[in-house]
Amino acid sequence: MHDHKDVIQRLKIAEGHLRGVQRMVEDDAYCIDIIRQIQAVQSSLNKISTKILEAHLHSCLITAVQGDDPADRERVLLEITEVFDAATKV
Q: What is the pLDDT of residues 26-38, one digit of tens each?
A: 999 999 999 999 9
Which distant-in-sequence residues (6+ apart) come within 8 Å of 27 by Cβ?
none
- Supply the pTM of this predicted model: 0.80
Domains of the chain are 5-89 (1.20.58.1000)
Residues 10-63 have pLDDT tens digits of: 999 999 999 999 999 999 999 999 999 999 999 999 999 999 999 998 898 888
Distance between CA atoms of 48 and 25, rounded to whole angstroms?
Answer: 25
Helical H segments across 1-90, by residue range: 5-26, 31-56, 62-66, 70-89
